[in-house]
Amino acid sequence: MNWAAKRQLFYFLIFFLIIAGIGGLFAIKITAPTCDDDKQNQNEEGVDCGGSCSKMCLGDIKDLVSIWVRPLKVENGNYDVVAMVENRNLSLVSEAIKYQFKLYDKNNVLVAVKSGQTFAPPGQKFAIFESNIDTGRREPIKAFIEFEKDIKWDINRDDKLSIIVTNKEYNDDRFPKLSATLANKSIQDAKGVWATAIIYNFNGNAIAVSATRLEVLEAGNSSDVYFTWPYDFEDDVDSVELIISIEPSSFNP
């Protein structure tokens, strides 16, 4: 083999090695374990779930529990509805859960349907509230809430948020009103803080509800919240409850 042929062979081998290297790198990139490759690899507990993947395995997820649901009369043909719900997944949050309220009269006839979307904070009770539901001439006496089947859950990676309720005061001198102070005892800001006020009668049943949202409650700071109702309640008030829920964006910034 002459010198020219050897040089051509050398260049060919260099070119072949470069192409093979690029192909190898491409193959490694394609086959590298991910959380959406339909395989149980890395340190996953199931296929694309658990371990380092944010998605939890279905066998570890508990359904949302509806503790109670109440339609609340505002005036004839106009109702609010509130549900007390519990997320029993201590380490899971969901940013968007679709739901549907269904209201029925005494004859079990469907009176109204109200759809909406909420979030689920990790491992706690939270309230879902819809207002101004038109029921026409019918009077709902019971309500139910249904959730979508395929809820997207994420792992809660921060459980250090703590909102304390103080100075809670209710009076009905002119119209029913409630005030309270929310104090952020955490070392980080809480974004999207919902406060839902629920009024109970002496039978322990909810008779009124109202909600407000704070865009942000900075670490170490406090803020006053106020709730008013422009009508008198039909039942006497026994107790009030203030449910605090923080949007998942604060837990997983």
Output Rg (C-alpha) for the chain, integer angstroms. Answer: 28
Sequence ranges of the domains in the chain: 63-156, 159-253
Q: Global pTM?
A: 0.75
170-188 pLDDT, tens per residue?
Answer: 999 889 999 999 999 988 9
Residue ranges with strand state E in 87-238:
92-104, 110-120, 125-134, 142-147, 154-155, 163-171, 177-184, 190-200, 206-217, 222-228
Please give the order of strands across the beta sheet that includes 65-75.
Answer: 65-75, 78-86, 125-134
Decide: residue 160, CB within 10 A, 0-12 exposed, 13-18 middle, 19+ buried.
exposed
Residue 48 has pLDDT above 70, yes or no: no
77-121 pLDDT, tens per residue?
Answer: 999 999 999 999 988 999 999 999 999 999 999 999 999 999 999
> How far apart, in whole angstroms, are the C-alpha atoms of residue 139 and residue 79?
9
Q: Is it true that domain 159-253 has CATH number 2.60.40.3230? A: yes
Q: How far from each other are the two terminal CA atoms of the chain, in whole angstroms?
A: 67
Instruction: Tell me the CATH class for 63-156.
Output: mainly beta
> How far apart, in whole angstroms, are the C-alpha atoms of residue 208 and residue 191?
26
Structure-token pair, residue 70: 């109440």
Domain 63-156 matches domain 159-253 at the CATH topology level: yes
Structural contact between residues 155 and 91, judged by C-beta atoms closer than 8 angstroms: yes
* pLDDT score recorded for residue 21: 66
